[in-house]
Structure 1
Amino acid sequence: MHAGYVWKSEWTKIRSVRSTGTTLALAAVFTIGLGFLISALSKNEFAKMDAHELRFADPTFISFVGTSLGQLAMIVFGVMVVGGEYSTGMIRTSLAAVPRRGLFLFSKIAVATLLAFVVALVTSFVTFFVGQAALGPYKASLGDPGVLRAVIGAALYMTLIAVFAMGVTTVLRSPMLSLGILMPLFFLLTPILGNVPATRKVAQYLPDQAGGKVMQVVAPEGDIAPYGPWGGFGIMVLWVLAALCCGWLVLKKRDA
């Protein structure tokens, strides 16, 4: 089957499932809403900072605090895109229609990734402008050094979170199991490991901890990461590629 037909088929599948659109909308609402709230609350904190503290203040990153919640909706989106066919048994029909499993998998992931990126990019810019408006005189400008990179980086980060979830779900072949692993990993385990001194050096190489650096304009005081924003993003890309490769191998070797 021609790749164009497979792409069109995958787009139709995603578009026909109402919950996928709802999940992407929630990702935007959570990211923008929490970013605005934290930025508004941070305005008073900025007013109390001395010169030393202001050196390490990062108004851009503050507006993206909501990604910690928005990424959970992106994880659900990624799991649903792949796991929906396994939970309904439609995966057998899909693979019968597209015997080339690599074409099937990467067409699905490519279409979902493009959709996730468009939503994440719009969300990222809205989040930035809304958050900076809430910060008032302490706001950053899009033309300031590193700010545009952070805004685009936030969109890329959210997109890769969804792609990572797609890869993991392809390996596990179960939406419930995938959510049962990914949700605690990103919502509980990595934040805890990142805040414990004994495990911080290990946690900084986990996908969300490393990838989140791309949203920073100013490195926080006491930052020990041996990489910069794009270095951390590169580590996250490696995690995503590993998940996708493992997913492809499982799909190739195992029966539907």
Structure 2
Amino acid sequence: MAVAQVIRSEWTKIRSVASTVWTLSLAFAVTVALGVLISVLAKNEFGNLSREDQFAFDPTVVSFAGMSLGQLAMIVFGVLVVSNEYSTGMIRTSLAAVPQRGLFLAGKLAVATALALVVGLVTSFTTFFLGQAALGEYRAAISDPGVLRAVIGGGLYMALIALFSMGVATMLRSPMLSLGILMPFFFLVSAILANVSATKEVGRFLPDQAGAKVMQVVTPPNDDTPYGPWGGLAIMVVWVIAALIGGYVLLKRRDA
């Protein structure tokens, strides 16, 4: 089957499933809404901050405060894109139509990642501009050093979260099992490891902790992170590649 046909088929699958469309819409809505809310609160509380905290204030990061909830929606999107076919049994039909499993997986990943990237970039730019408007006199400008990189990085971060989730879901096949592992990993294990002194060195190399570095403009005092914004994103990319390789290997070896 031609690549164009595979792409068209995967596009039809994704847009015809309401849950995937709603999940992407939710990723945009919750990220922007929470980002604006936190920006309003940060503006009102700025005068109560210590001089050191005011100096370390990062308006760009503040506007991305809703990224954690947007990340949750992107995880669900990535899992649903892959595992819906397994839960409904349609995977057998899909693999019969596209017996080249590498082509099948590549087509699915390409379409879903393109959608996640578009939504991620639109979300990132929207939440930045609305968040900065809410911050008023404490806002950053898109032309300030490092800000455009952070905003573009926010969109890339959301797309990579979705892609990582697709890789894990391809390995596990079950939506419940995939979400049961990814949710605690990102929202419990990662947070604990990154904030406990004994495990901090390990936690900072997890995909979400490393990738989030790209959205940071102002470096906090005493920050000894051994990589910069793009270095953190590169670490996240390595995690994504590992997940995709694992998914591809298992897809090639297993029956539908």
Question: Structure 1, residues 116-139: CA drift from partner, whole Å, max 9, x if none?
Answer: 111111111110011111111000
Separation (CA, whole Å) in 2 of partners of 1:34 and 1:50: 24
Query: Which amino acid letter does the alignment assign opposite residue 10 of structure 1?
Result: E
* 2:67 corresponds to 1:67: yes
In the other structure, the counterpart of 1:161 is: 161
Query: Which amino acid letter does the alignment assign opposite residue 15 of structure 2?
Result: R
> Aligned-pair distance for 1:222?
2.5
The 5 Å alignment of 1:179-190 reads 179-190=179-190
Query: Which amino acid letter does the alignment assign opposite residue 127 of structure 1?
Result: T
In the other structure, the counterpart of 1:24 is: 24
The 5 Å alignment of 1:142-181 reads 142-181=142-181
The 5 Å alignment of 1:1-150 reads 1-150=1-150
Question: Structure 1, residues 182-202: CA drift from partner, whole Å, max 9, x if none?
Answer: 011111111121111111110
Segments of structure 2 that go 5 or more residues without pairing to the other structure are none
Separation (CA, whole Å) in 2 of partners of 1:139 and 1:183: 32
Separation (CA, whole Å) in 1 of partners of 2:87 and 2:223: 43
Among all aligned residue pairs of Structure 1 and Structure 2, give the percentage whose two residues are the same amino acid. 67
Separation (CA, whole Å) in 2 of partners of 1:14 and 1:53: 45
- If the length of structure 1 is used for normalisation, what is the TM-score? 0.98
Separation (CA, whole Å) in 2 of partners of 1:205 and 1:251: 27
Query: Which amino acid letter does the alignment assign opposite residue 80 of structure 1?
Result: L
Aligned residues: 256
Query: Which amino acid letter does the alignment assign opposite residue 213 of structure 1?
Result: K
Query: Which amino acid letter does the alignment assign opposite residue 93 of structure 1?
Result: T
Question: Structure 1, residues 58-111: CA drift from partner, whole Å, max 9, x if none?
Answer: 000110011111100000000000000000111111001001000000110000
Name the SS for the 1:219 alignment partner: coil
> Aligned-pair distance for 1:49?
3.3
Query: Which amino acid letter does the alignment assign opposite residue 73 of structure 2?
Result: A
In the other structure, the counterpart of 2:196 is: 196
Separation (CA, whole Å) in 2 of partners of 1:197 and 1:46: 28
Separation (CA, whole Å) in 1 of partners of 2:244 and 2:219: 30
Segments of structure 1 that go 5 or more residues without pairing to the other structure are none
Q: What value does the CA root-mean-square deviation take over the aligned residues? A: 0.9
Separation (CA, whole Å) in 1 of partners of 2:211 and 2:36: 22
Query: Which amino acid letter does the alignment assign opposite residue 82 of structure 2?
Result: V
